[in-house]
Chain A
């Protein structure tokens, strides 16, 4: 599986001892066959499933999922307990139901912007199995009597754009709802749902204040369904195989499978598919001894190797350990790298990605980034740390979108997980670079 290079250096450093830390060895006691990624990789080669391949592997969408305006998908998705895969985990049935209650015909938006630098699952889906995503969008679109499907992608991902455009051309005769691709400007918050709609309405790609909710007042004032690309791919399979099949893997509370992007000090970086509830040590093998694991991405949480080892890939396990899974991201920091420095890089970049609309984010994130830089460069004292914690409180939950909340989560988890490094940096020492 391929992945694009990420912007910060979580890449492994060569060390003498290349054996994995305890528990990070892949244990083959969970058997699972990929669903979304079925047929994409045979272990050596990675293929793009064109329409004929896609149909050979998954079969066609059942007729029931191609009938106009039946409104049957809500019950199906509710029975499957499908939740959105963009990170927020909102129940898809509720979102769809809200959209279908509008007076006007809705618009369906496939969000494949994936502004998170450590994620490449949506790019992988669109590049490898675009028809699954398009099937799901068609199923929800026809069910809701939608007029249009818009696939939103970030620029500079040429393989992704080429693949999705080719897929739309391939199936133009089969599809009931016209589909177009829109390139959204680069930026972390540009992929936020309200920012997408803001842009599609002719404005800048910046978040807007909620309410109004997009489900009844989105593009052109129409009901608008915005969901992550992976969510639609799951819809395509639920429409084919039903909710019972969907629930046959995963946990009772969180059924199904999900895509996870692995990066950093792992032997197999890239996108994998796992059932919910999978133990983290089962998901990858570390390529060097591990200093810490970042889950959830730039708006995520740093976990010690001990905590990471006891994490199962589910929201309930994550909650109990204070971890975030985000949009499915695991990045492994090798021993010998400074977690505070990585956090400083992350926060500095995130501060630059602010839409610069809300005061607490516009002022708070650069302040937090500067405080962390002082800490990393041995210029900090106890007062710096007090300010850092105060700024975190001031930035949190005080913006139109959750951008500052994510940054604060990452910073707080770093200060906790790397507490001994904080002390070391305060007395001008750090064992690593």
Chain B
């Protein structure tokens, strides 16, 4: 894939807040899968065209543990 197909955005997990509800993986399976214990594994950065889905996953999180950020270098997911 060329770089143009990705945005600068990243979905970041606040691991202290996240309690593994798994809604993000339901809403955005293209971006989020779950690990053996139900915690999100995020494929970053967000590809172009999936920004709206990423935003929906962010707002749906019951623990408010997801952040959408454009600072790729600060990411720790």
Contacts and interface: CB of A to CB of B under 8 A. Distances in A.
A244 interface: no
Nearest to A357: B16
Interface stretch (B1-9, B24-32, B35-43, B45-53): B35-43
Nearest to B37: A363
A316 to B, nearest CB: 23
A399 interface: yes
A322 to B, nearest CB: 22
A360 B16 contact: no
A400 B15 contact: yes
B73 interface: no
Contacts of B14: 209, 400
A394 interface: yes
A400 B17 CA distance: 10
B76 A359 contact: no
Given A360-B37, A391-B36, A398 B15 contact: yes
A209 B15 CA distance: 8
Nearest to B67: A209
A397 B37 contact: no
B20 A359 contact: yes
Interface string A150-172: 00000000000000000000000
A359 B19 contact: yes
Interface string B60-77: 000000000000001011
B18 interface: yes
Contacts of A394: 35-37, 41
Interface in A354-371: 357-361, 363-364, 367
A390 interface: yes
Contacts of A251: none
Contacts of A390: 36
B36 A359 contact: no
Interface centre among B17, B19, B39 (most CB of A within 10 A): B39
Contact of B15 (A211, A359, A391): A359
Contacts of B17: 209
Contact of A358 (B16, B36, B74): B16
A209 B13 CA distance: 10
A317 interface: no
A397 B36 contact: no
Interface of B: 13-20, 35-39, 41, 74, 76-77
Which 4 A-B pairs rank lowest in CB-CB distance, beginning with the nearest? Answer: A358-B15, A363-B37, A359-B39, A357-B16
Interface of A: 207-209, 211, 357-361, 363-364, 367, 390-391, 394, 397-400
Given A394-B41, A400-B14, 14 more contacts: A209-B16, A209-B17, A357-B15, A359-B15, A359-B19, A359-B37, A359-B38, A361-B15, A363-B37, A394-B35, A397-B76, A397-B77, A398-B13, A400-B16
